[in-house]
Amino acid sequence: MKHRLRNLLAAGAAAAVSLAFPRLATAQVTPAAGYTPPDDTPKVSVGATIFADYTYQADPLIKDSDGNNVHSSAFNLTRAYINVTGSISHWVSFRITPDVVRVGPVSVGGANVNVPGVSGTLTYRLKYGYGQVNFDDVLKGWWARIGQQQTPIIDYLEGIYRYRFQGTVFVDREGFLTSSDLGISTRVMTPGNYFELHAGVYNGEGYTAPEANDTKAFQVRGTLRPAPSVPVLKGLRLTGFYDGDHYVRHAKKERIFGNLTFEHPYVNAGFEYLQAKDQNSSASKPVVTADGYSFWVTPRTPVGIEALLRYDNLRPNKDVSGHKKRYIGGLAYWFPVTKAGIAAALLADWEEVKYDNFPVGNANNKPTERRLALHTLFNF
């Protein structure tokens, strides 16, 4: 009886819907699209990055071992990364990158001593080694890292500048920031790629030195892309960066940095400004404030020929006269490639560094430096 009553009620409801909404009753219902689960197959890949160059120093002259005045010239290998990257699942990934470095004198009893068979050789040290948790299921582009990793600003700048194989960006080249450090960080991006935030807590000593005290560096970068959907303006980005740290307790180490960049198929350009405050090694020392700026532009052609033009201007101490000025000009050829992440380039460049108006006895009162070089990049 109950079964018959249930059937009658169901039939009555269907008839009522058919009378009230005839189109709905006869419409074809499209099945929901099938859910494709993310690929959680563990993966490992190996790549490499090589920077090799020949550099001729026109000025100043140096003395060789026999006391002759000569122009320094050398073939150099400034970077040889082995990049091991992979994923355990779509949630967890990792990177391990050793980097080549030339071993200098070894400190023995407070004195620097050359060790036969060791000093002067090329060896590997760890540049990156971190684990990453990806939260793309929650918000696309959101991740968190722990370990020895990229700091928020330099790796970001190098991705736009593209000429790291000639030399580091302004804040790195002048020693105010380091490209890698041990710590924990996270990055989030808004939908539509309008805004990106990368913040972390680091040892503050950089990847070349162990933690020396109980202070930590807080670094944060915010990048605004005002018009990512407008073809002409989608390459425009405005970035602010802050690094708050201490050499020792109460001894300030602070960097404030602003950057404006523009990317286009025919030109990349950037302008950046830095202010730094330092009480190096002791809170009893006065705060030294430095500031400076850098401008660069790389006109590009569809056939891979590019120019590099760059000007840096640094005032190491606002209370002392003197500016350090760097001029770079070069012509590059980027070989055609068919896959993202693969690159090969040649760059012939001229670089001049002037130390203008520094007082006698100041550490920056140096002769002008002039160099000619052929730089190469291989990345795969």
- Tokens read off for 135: 């939260």
Contact 68, 38 (CB under 8 A): no
Say how many residues make up the chain.
Answer: 380
pLDDT at 110: 61
Distances (CA, A) of 133 to 136, 168, 180, 240, 267: 9, 29, 19, 25, 35
pLDDT, one tens digit per residue, over 65-102 is 999 999 999 999 999 999 999 999 999 999 999 998 88
What three-state secondary structure class fits 338? coil
Neighbouring CB atoms inside 10 A of 120's CB total: 12
What three-state secondary structure class fits 13? helix
Contact 152, 172 (CB under 8 A): no
Rounded to 5 degrees, φ, ψ at 173 are -65, -35
Q: Which residue has the tokens 């055609």?
A: 336
Q: Which residue has the tokens 């494709």?
A: 36
Helix (H) or strand (E) holding 161: helix 154-161
C-alpha count within 13 angstroms, C-beta hemisphere, residue 310: 26
Contact 354, 366 (CB under 8 A): no
* Longest Cα–Cα distance in the chain: 115
pLDDT at 286: 92
Query: CA 379, CA 340: separation in Å to the nearest integer?
Result: 10
Q: What are the structural domains of the chain? A: 134-379 (2.40.160.10)
pTM: 0.85
pLDDT at 6: 45
Could you tell me how far CA 210 lies from the centroid of its own chain? 21
Name 87's bridge partners.
43, 93
**pLDDT-flagged residues of the chain (< 70):** 1-35, 106-111, 113, 117
Query: CA 375, CA 123: separation in Å to the nearest integer?
Result: 21
pLDDT at 45: 95
Tell me, what amino acid is at 282?
A: S
Query: CA 77, CA 163: separation in Å to the nearest integer?
Result: 16
pLDDT at 117: 67
